[in-house]
Amino acid sequence: MAKTVDIYWDFSSPFAYLGATQAKGLAERTRATLSWRPMLLGGLFKIIGQADVPLLTWSEQKRAYYLKDLYRWAEYYQVPFKFPTRFPMLTIKALRAYLALPEERRDDFRERTFRAFWGEDRDINDDAVLKELIGADADAILALTQDPAIKKALIDATQTAADKGVFGAPTWVVDGELYWGNDRIQLVEKALR
């Protein structure tokens, strides 16, 4: 019987970007169903009492190591990566746009938006960039980002993540068990098998 893997993510996380580039292959290899769970990482951090941008609280040595490691993972996965000049990025509008899109358009938008920010150093909080990434009906979708129901959906999704014990992105959940990070994919795959 095929299993489901929940993936908690936010566009603001380089680790979520790297993990997202591997999720489809993981699902194909394991015949698992992917359930993408957007959340506002800054909101989650506030709920659990974590610094808003943990990376900025690290020592210079640890930040330098992690930056180098991000490029190593990108090279290993063979995906573009360029640490953005606009970091941290406010991702509320992009996440709300994702939730406002019809289900069948979300995968493409998520992939393009992750790549725009982490692979191309583009400002995904800018309306012009978001309109390009959204495509058809972009003005209507952006208008929906101000809809109270869409706002509440993101708040509720973030609270659900906190309630499940999520503390970072990406977090993979298989049978109630959490796995944090793009570097835990092998363990996720084992759990799915």
Q: Where are the domains of the chain?
A: 4-192
Report the SS3 class of residue 166. Answer: coil
Q: Residue 50: its pLDDT value, please?
A: 87
Question: Model confidence over 109-167: pLDDT tens digits?
Answer: 999 999 999 999 999 999 999 999 999 999 999 999 999 999 999 999 999 999 999 99
Q: Is the pLDDT of residue 1 over 80?
A: no
Stated pTM of the model? 0.95
Q: Is the pLDDT of residue 14 over 80?
A: yes
Six token digits for residue 112: 């393009």
DSSP string, 74-120: HHHHT------SS-S---HHHHHHHHHS-HHHHHHHHHHHHHHHHTT
CATH superfamily of 4-192: Glutaredoxin (3.40.30.10)
